[in-house]
Amino acid sequence: MRISKRIGRFKLDRIVIGVLVLGAIGLAGRGWLQENPQHNPWAPLELAHPPGWATGQKLDGLRGDVESCRAVLDRAGVAYQVLEPSGDESCRREDRTVLTEGALTPANPQMTCLAATGFEMWMRHGVQPAAQEILGSRVARVEHLGTYNCRTIGGGNDGRWSEHAIGNAIDIAAFLLEDGRRISLLGDWDGADEAAAFLREARDAACASFSTVLSPDYNAAHADHFHLDQADRWTGSACR
């Protein structure tokens, strides 16, 4: 009888110890997530946080929730303007957001809030750190080839509609540095110098902020630009 009681107590002690260990692990994990909100799926998206494990999920959560998306820009102090909806059918744009004090040139392109959020995150945590580290200068301006274009992918009469048709994409052609240098996709991608290294680092960093990243490595049609968009992809991001 005493032996059976001892066995019972031993099992109970093991259960209690297991519960305590799991509780300690849970508290430690909770503390770690609080210290690293970029990995915490329950923490709101903040542009001040670097991209983390949960960033893609948080960006996806803003899809179709324009007010929450604009709240992210507001909290980060990003200047933007909201325009009235425009367009018809497949090119209908309910969300027309304009970054009014950004680094883009030509200035004030119209895009979705989600695309604008991705661009701001990419600049803060990808482009600028890479430019400073590799080129020794920050980026002053970013040349783009456009955001909105009511067309299908490839511009044909058939096929799927491009993300450009609703302003959910931006094509990046070149970077103008504060020291006066110009780094372009067409002129510098195929080099073996620091300019080419910077462009590849910028391409890779964009994959944390956009659902689609297409570079000159993808095909000849992208030889002169990065195509960045926020397409709704159930398979995850496409980074090429």
Structure tokens at 164: 């450009």
CA 148 to mean position of chain CA atoms: 19
Residue pair 176/163 in contact by the 8 Å Cβ criterion = no
For the segment 195-229, what is each residue's pLDDT rounded down to a tens digit?
Answer: 999 999 999 999 999 999 999 999 999 999 999 99
161, 211: one domain: yes
123, 219: one domain: yes
Report the pLDDT averaged over residues 20-29: 54
Higher pLDDT, 148 or 15: 148
100, 13: one domain: no
pLDDT for res 28: 55
222, 132: one domain: yes
pLDDT at residue 46 is higher than 70: yes
Q: What is the number of structural domains in the chain?
A: 2
22, 68: one domain: no
193, 164: one domain: yes
88, 16: one domain: no
201, 141: one domain: yes
| Domain assignment of residue 90, given as a range | 44-239
Question: What is the Cα–Cα distance from 98 to 81, expressed in whole angstroms?
Answer: 5
162, 65: one domain: yes
Query: Residue 82's closest CA among 48, 122, 116?
Result: 116
pLDDT at residue 12 is higher than 80: no
- Please confirm whether the linkage preceding 106 is cis (ω < 30° from 0): yes
Nearest 5°: the CA angle 153, 125, 197 is 70
pLDDT for res 156: 76
Lowest mean pLDDT among 7-16, 89-98, 113-122: 7-16
- How would residue 2 be classed by pLDDT, with cut points 50, 70 and 90? low
78, 26: one domain: no
118, 8: one domain: no
Report the pLDDT averaged over residues 28-56: 89
198, 131: one domain: yes
